[in-house]
């Protein structure tokens, strides 16, 4: 047996901050700073400790890894998803670490078009993660967000798919959600100093105008996210905490307008929305720990009518609408 090794201990550094009217002490607050020499020193010590502790098991690690790889189909592709005039899919190639995002037109013998080869994007980087890749409704521009340092803070870029060129604009500090409204307008979220998504912005691709701040969530308990309905007709801005949520909606044809709340937030009540046809479809846990399903007319979303009541033995986990692409129309 190898000798026991004492794990490293991060040194204390007194720090206090004010939050919600209270003073909070945190002797390890400095570890949030990735560039602090003490943080780097401690992380290196942790890595050294791990390597020394696991050294006797190196052969077993290799054996387990090789067995796992042998059971994985390394060359594979996802099921194609139709969007407008194209089918989109991601494929993997043996020996490569990241996916290759592709599409082909809905015509006979259509050639594959590579939208993003994440292996190329990751080349030379110590870390790589793709938050999303979203084609514009007409399929001519791709919005994608990349993290190359492991911070979970992404940079938003745009690629002209007609000529394969990445456009010059680059937007830092974005998070996991984004949505197109029209072929040149993209909504995205940014982070505060605690990495909480709290601001929603509107960007005009190719424009030199400053991006427009559409919404800011001032309550530190809530994160925000933006998504386009499966119908393609509405944008949903969702604010949620551990036990409370609120949804605001905006018709894509009115993307310069203001998001309106389906219902103001109520503490300890969650609700989420989807759209199809003449209705918003709403899943809520109000008086229903396992959630129930309601609908509200788009013309008057204040009138909620129950569709599926609460059941003690069944939980409604999600609600989905018919995708606009099933009718051959783009998102």
What pTM did the predictor assign? 0.82
Cβ neighbourhood burial of 74 (10 Å; 0-12, 13-18, 19+): exposed
Give 12's DSSP letter: P
**Is residue 275 within 8 Å of residue 290, measured between CB atoms?**
no
Q: How many CA atoms lie within 13 A of 218 on its CB side?
A: 0
Query: Distance of CA 247 to CAs 1, 6, 225, 259, 282, Å?
Result: 58, 50, 10, 9, 10
**Is residue 84 within 8 Å of residue 330, measured between CB atoms?**
yes
Strand partners, 58: none
CA-derived radius of gyration, the chain: 24
State pLDDT tens for residues 11-28: 999 999 887 888 999 999
Element holding 121 (H helix, E strand): helix 118-122
Identify the CA nearest to 293 among candidates 261, 319, 267, 265: 319
Give the model's confidence band at 4: pLDDT under 50 very low, under 70 low, under 90 confident, else very high.
confident
Domain residue extents for the chain: 16-70, 73-124
Cα–Cα distance measured from residue 145 to residue 171, given in angstroms and rounded to the nearest whole number: 9
Cα–Cα distance measured from residue 42 to residue 230, given in angstroms and rounded to the nearest whole number: 46
Identify the CA nearest to 319 among candidates 302, 299, 296, 301: 296
Give the model's confidence band at 124: pLDDT under 50 very low, under 70 low, under 90 confident, else very high.
very high
State pLDDT tens for residues 132-182: 999 999 999 999 999 999 999 999 999 999 999 999 999 999 999 999 999
State pLDDT tens for residues 30-89: 998 988 999 999 999 999 999 999 999 999 999 999 999 888 888 899 999 999 899 999
**In the prediction, which pLDDT does 324 show?**
54
Polymer length in residues for the chain: 331
Give the model's confidence band at 246: pLDDT under 50 very low, under 70 low, under 90 confident, else very high.
very high
Cα–Cα distance measured from residue 206 to residue 187, given in angstroms and rounded to the nearest whole number: 14
Reply yes or no on whether the pLDDT at 331 is more than 50: no
Cα–Cα distance measured from residue 90 to residue 92, given in angstroms and rounded to the nearest whole number: 7
**In the prediction, which pLDDT does 99 show?**
96
Give the model's confidence band at 2: pLDDT under 50 very low, under 70 low, under 90 confident, else very high.
low
Strand partners, 275: 280
């Amino acid at each position: 047996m190898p000798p026991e090794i004492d794990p490293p201990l991060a040194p204390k550094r007194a720090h206090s901050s004010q939050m919600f009217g209270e003073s909070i002490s945190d002797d390890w607050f400095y570890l949030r700073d990735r560039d602090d020499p003490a943080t780097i020193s401690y992380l290196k010590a942790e890595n050294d400790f791990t390597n020394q502790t696991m050294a006797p098991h190196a052969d077993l690690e290799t054996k387990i890894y090789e067995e796992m790889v042998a059971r994985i189909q390394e060359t594979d592709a996802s099921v194609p998803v139709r969007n407008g005039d194209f089918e989109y899919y991601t494929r993997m190639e043996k020996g490569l670490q990241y996916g290759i995002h592709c599409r082909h037109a809905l015509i006979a013998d259509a050639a594959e078009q590579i939208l993003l080869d994440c292996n190329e994007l990751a080349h030379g980087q110590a870390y790589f993660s793709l938050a999303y890749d979203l084609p514009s409704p007409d399929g001519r521009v791709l919005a994608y967000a990349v993290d190359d340092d492991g911070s979970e803070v992404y940079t938003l870029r745009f690629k002209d798919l007609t000529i394969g060129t990445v456009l010059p604009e680059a937007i830092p500090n974005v998070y996991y959600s984004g949505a197109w409204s029209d072929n040149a307008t993209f909504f995205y979220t940014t982070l505060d100093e605690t990495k909480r998504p709290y601001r929603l912005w509107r960007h005009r691709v190719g424009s030199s105008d400053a991006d427009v701040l559409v919404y800011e969530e001032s309550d530190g308990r809530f994160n925000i996210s933006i998504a386009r309905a499966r119908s393609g007709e509405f944008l949903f801005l969702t604010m949620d905490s551990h036990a409370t949520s609120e949804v605001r909606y905006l018709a894509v044809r009115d993307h310069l307008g203001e998001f309106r709340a389906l219902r103001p937030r109520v503490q300890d009540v969650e609700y989420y929305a989807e759209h199809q046809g003449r209705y918003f479809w709403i899943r809520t846990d109000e008086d229903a720990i396992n959630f129930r399903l309601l609908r509200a007319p788009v013309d008057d979303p204040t009138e909620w009518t129950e569709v599926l009541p609460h059941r003690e033995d069944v939980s409604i986990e999600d609600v989905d609408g018919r995708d606009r692409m099933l009718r051959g129309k783009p998102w």
